[in-house]
Amino acid sequence: MKQVIRTLALATLALVASCSPGAADAGAKAPTATATASVHPISGLQVAPVTVTRGDKRLVFKTEFARTSAEQAKGLMFRTNLADDEAMIFLRNPPDRASFWMRNTVISLDIIYVGLDRRIINIAANAVPYDETPLISGGPTLAVFEINGGLAAKLGIQPGDKVDW
């Protein structure tokens, strides 16, 4: 009986030791840490880089992806800040002639309409918070990209620039 208890005790210690982090895990990130880093802490949306290219100039934004109709309907409503390296993108499926407004949107935005060729069609610059006037794309859009109001002009973003995600 003592031998059985001793064997069970050793087996339990071995199991506990195998579950503890060891030298092989040093510096490794837990899967949850990686998943958390790719999700926005406020919206819960996936975050991935989106690049705006003008000639040899590349601007990269940490971008929230609004994919579902509910996510797109909410957008950046009620948000009180957006860093200059952050954005939100609305992927249009199917592509359409987009119309956005600023209902319940606290911060000014530049609403950038991206055409079927992934080039900027037009920009509704400095959209006014809470304004419900429709801001319409200049043609069929594959995506709508939102950044802080006035930032497009400050960074030199303009129609014809390429947007990649």
Q: For residues 102 and 109, is the Cβ–Cβ distance under 8 A?
A: yes
Domain count, the chain: 1
Mean pLDDT of the chain: 83
Tell me: the pLDDT tens digits for 54-76? 999 999 999 999 999 999 999 99
The whole-number pLDDT of residue 36 equals 43
- Which class for 147: exposed (0-12), middle (13-18), buried (19 or more C-beta within 10 A)? buried
CATH code, domain with 142 = 2.60.120.1140
Portion of the chain with pLDDT greater than 90, in percent: 77
User: Does residue 29 form part of some domain?
Assistant: no
pLDDT, average across residues 3-11: 38
User: Does residue 159 form part of some domain?
Assistant: yes
Tell me: the pLDDT tens digits for 78-126? 999 999 999 999 999 999 999 999 999 999 999 999 999 999 999 999 9
In 2-154 the beta strands, taken as DSSP E runs, fall at 47-54, 57-66, 86-100, 109-114, 120-127, 135-148
Q: For residues 78 and 104, is the Cβ–Cβ distance under 8 A?
A: yes
The whole-number pLDDT of residue 37 equals 52
User: Does residue 75 form part of some domain?
Assistant: yes
For residue 41, the enclosing domain spans 35-164
Residue 151 φ then ψ, to 5°: -70, -35
The whole-number pLDDT of residue 132 equals 97
